[in-house]
Amino acid sequence: MRVAVVRFPGSNCDQDALHSLRDDLGIAADYAWHEDRDLSGFDAVFLPGGFSYGDYLRCGAIASRAPILDEVRRFAREGRPVIGVCNGFQVLCEAGLLPGALMRNLSEKFVCKTVWLQAGNRTSLWMRGVPDRPISIPIAHGEGRYLCDQDTLKRLQDDDRVAFRYVDREGRRTPEANPNGSIDDIAGILNEGGNVLGMMPHPERATSELLGGTDGRTILSALSAVRA
Amino acid sequence: MTTVRVTVTLKPSLLDSAGRTVAGSLVKLGFDEVKDVRIGKVIRLQLETYDEARVRAMCDKLLANPVIEDYTIEVEP
């Protein structure tokens, strides 16, 4: 397993992602550049957080039209693992690889704190290692309010494609536990195949005790379970 | 050369949280008549040749996100 951490101009969680994968999880990972057109030699894609292209036009809009996205689409189609975190989630939505959109937080504030998440889906390759208890993962975003129309929401629910919901420490869904006003308390969703995961919280910031927690490992360790 | 103005706005059914904040600020400044504010984007394109279908394609492919936004196209005099 070798993971491509894609760098766009303005990515700023790319080094965190690479460090987390390599040093905390022992997974082979290297950077890929947004203008690359060939990801052969890689088995999975990590779209990191940041402010790709300065968030110009809309978050993730320009990045989602970058040359490397053709390869990311191929990975998605072939059932390979693809994860987009924060700005990476926005890129996946803008690219049409995941439904819906991410809008400005209801509070109009950038929110940087640790939240609790409850896993929804239990069968996706990304979700098999995630425990039933709430997990603790940091968020840092100004535009993380997930939104989609009612038909899409119903499809996500019926097809078991909600990966994570914001909850409190005891696993209860409360207005206070939802940091941005996301519909249905959604923090992350999956594509139809379950191999593409988009989420606003940062699992790569929670893979080491030294940095405050290791619950992120329960998600990212999925990559070590996948054989090339 | 043709100048085309594309106006991108959030769909009316969606909450515009930035607009709501601006509305609140205007009311605080004494403009009590303000009941709602919606914020959009104006994108001005300088085009060598104008073909509305192509500008529409630009909007659909990049300038607007059909999930959350509507757009209008006007040719500037």
Q: Please report the domains of chain B, with CATH numbers, ordered by start residue.
A: 2-75 (3.30.1280.10)
Cα angle for residues A77, A80, A83 (degrees, 5° grid): 100
Mean pLDDT of A157-175: 97
- DSSP state string for chain B: -EEEEEEEEE-TTS--HHHHHHHHHHHHTT-TT-------EEEEEEESS--HHHHHHHIIIII--TTTEEEEEEE--
Q: Is A228 a residue whose pLDDT tops 60?
A: no
Options A13, A59, A86, A93, the catalytic residue: A86
What's the complex ipTM? 0.84
CB contact under 8 A, B65 and A108: no
Residue B22 Cα distances to A24, B17, B48, B71, angstroms: 44, 9, 37, 22
Which residues is B73 bridged to in the sheet?
A: B6
**8 A C-beta contact, residue A41 and residue A3:** no
pLDDT of residue A211: 86
Beta bridge partners of residue A32, listed in sequence order:
A6
Residue A93 is a catalytic residue: no
Q: What is the mean pLDDT of residues A108-115?
A: 96
Contact with chain A for residue B17, Cβ under 8 A = yes
> Tell me, what's the pLDDT at A227?
54
Contact A44, A75 (CB under 8 A): yes
Q: Which residues pair with B43 in a beta bridge?
A: B6
Predicted confidence at residue A226, as pLDDT, reads: 62
CATH number at residue A149: 3.40.50.880
Task: Quote the CA–CA distance of A163 and B32 in Å, as a whole number.
Answer: 44
Residue B71 has pLDDT above 90, yes or no: yes
Pairing label, strands A135-141, A111-119: antiparallel
Q: Are A72 and A42 a contacting pair, CB within 8 Å?
A: no
CB A113 within 8 A of CB A138: yes
Q: Chain B: nearest CA to A62, how far in angstroms?
A: 8
**Nearest-CA distance A65 → chain B (Å):** 8
A148 among known catalytic residues = no
Q: pLDDT at position B32, please?
A: 97
Task: Using CA coordinates, name the residue in chain B closest to A65.
Answer: B62
Q: Is pLDDT of A141 > 80?
A: yes
Q: Does residue A216 register a pLDDT over 80?
A: yes
CB contact under 8 A, A61 and B62: yes
CB contact under 8 A, B67 and A100: yes
Mutate one of B6, B65, B69, B70 to test the A interface: name it (highest A CB count within 10 A). Answer: B65
Name B58's Cβ contacts closer than 8 Å, sequence gap at least 6.
B6, B45
Range of the domain at A47: 2-225
Q: Looking up tokens 């990972």, which residue turns up?
A: A29
The yes-or-no answer on residue A86 being catalytic is yes
Contact B21 A106 (CB under 8 A): no
Number of domains in chain A: 1
Check CB contact under 8 Å for B65 and A58. yes
Provide the number of CB pairs (under 8 Å) joining chain A to chain B: 33
Cα-Cα-Cα-Cα torsion B63, A142, A20, A188, nearest 10 degrees, comes to: -80
Per-residue pLDDT at A224: 87
